[in-house]
Amino acid sequence: MLVSASGLAKSYDTGVVTPVLRGAALELDRSRIGVILGPSGSGKSTLMNIIGGVDRADEGVVEVDGERITDLDDDGLVEYRRESVGFVFQFYNLVPNLTAGENIEVVSNISKQPLAIDEVLAAVGLTEKKNRFPRELSGGEQQRVAIARAIVKNPKLLLCDEPTGALDIATSRDVLAQLQRVNTQFGTTILMITHNVAVAEMAHAVFRMRDGEVEHATQNAEPVPAERISW
């Protein structure tokens, strides 16, 4: 078990107290791809942010590779994020002042045992575009740089919040295929949020959220290669 979350509760107080998570729980094995599905506002991002150590739960426990990250202080969370988690965001979030290669270099500079920059660039098929700035890359290419940036630290866990949310079908499939390749090539455990039910076919585990809870968790014995998914 790489990720194990249980009893996660979180509410936001914006005048009225709105519960966003009500005892959410999930478990994901090492080197697996897990997909979180659910309607908008069901708490998917909130759950992922807590697992990724950028947000804190009011209640509940998250363990990643045996480390209880819900007990970590702020410095502990920084280190956890730096060493153990890679993030891929919906809107890429590359630093516009840095080239593709440098966006990856920032991370490799601050992590303890990074992979080689050229290795991860090659893994996402962007060796040629190393010196381009983000604005000189297509959305799909930017997202691939983001994936390379996320995996260069050789994270235990790769978290992707709607990584294809801003991309067209062909490019989405391409990005998903990259993620699947990362999973097999580096054995990286991936947890991914998507609105696209079809994407669940490529996952080993599928979590369906509703109203701040994981309603169903299903296993998928035969994940489909991303290239064969259609929607």
Partner 1 sequence: MFLALRELRFARGRFSLFCGVIALMTLMVVLLTGLTAGLGAASVSAVDALPGTALAFSAEPKVSFATSSVSEQDQRALAAKAGVHSATPIGVSTAKLTGAVAVLGGVPGSSPTAGGVLVPPSLGLATGSHVRVNDQDLVVTGSTSEHSLNHLPAVYVSLDTWRRVAHTSGATAILVDAEPGADLSSAGLTTLSRTEAYSAVGSYSSEQGSLNLMTGLLLGISALVVGAFFTVWTMQRGHDLAVVRAIGASRSYLLRDALGQAALVLVIGAGLGTALATGLGLAASTAVPFVLAPSTVLVPMALMVLVGLVGATFAVRRVTTVDPLTALGAAR
Ligand X SMILES: Nc1ncnc2c1ncn2[C@@H]1O[C@H](COP(=O)(O)OP(=O)(O)OP(=O)(O)O)[C@@H](O)[C@H]1O
Are residues 23 and 9 in contact, defined by beta-carbon separation less than 8 angstroms? Answer: yes
Query: Is residue 83 part of the contact set for partner 1 (CB under 8 A)?
Result: yes
Q: Which two tokens stand for residue 70?
A: 């819900």
Residues of span 17-56 touching partner 1 by CB under 8 A? 45, 49, 54-55
**Rounded to 5°, angle at Cα 159 from 58 and 44:** 50
Spatial CB neighbours of 224, under 8 Å, sequence gap ≥ 6: 201, 202
Are residues 106 and 98 in contact, defined by beta-carbon separation less than 8 angstroms? Answer: yes
Query: Is residue 12 part of the contact set for ligand X (CB under 6 A)?
Result: yes
How many chain residues are in contact with ligand X, going by CB under 6 A?
11
Q: How far apart are CA 61 and CA 110, in angstroms?
A: 27
Q: Which residue lies nearer to partner 1 by CB, 6 or 49? A: 49
Query: Is residue 91 part of the contact set for ligand X (CB under 6 A)?
Result: no
- Local structure of 94: helix, strand or coil: coil
Query: Is residue 43 part of the contact set for ligand X (CB under 6 A)?
Result: yes
Residue 152 φ then ψ, to 5°: -65, -25
Query: Is residue 143 part of the contact set for ligand X (CB under 6 A)?
Result: no
Query: Is residue 143 part of the contact set for Mg ion (CB under 5 A)?
Result: no
Query: Is residue 190 part of the contact set for partner 1 (CB under 8 A)?
Result: no
Q: Mask of contacts with partner 1, 123-162, x by CB under 8 A?
A: --------------------------xx--x-------x-
The distance of closest approach from Cβ of residue 57 to Mg ion in the complex, given in angstroms and rounded to an integer, is 16
Nearest 10 degrees: CA dihedral of 151, 157, 162, 163?
Answer: 10
- Local structure of 41: helix, strand or coil: coil
The contact set with ligand X (CB under 6 A) reads 12, 14, 20, 38, 40-46
The contact set with partner 1 (CB under 8 A) reads 45, 49, 54-55, 75, 78-79, 81-83, 85-87, 89-91, 93-98, 102, 105-107, 109-111, 149-150, 153, 161
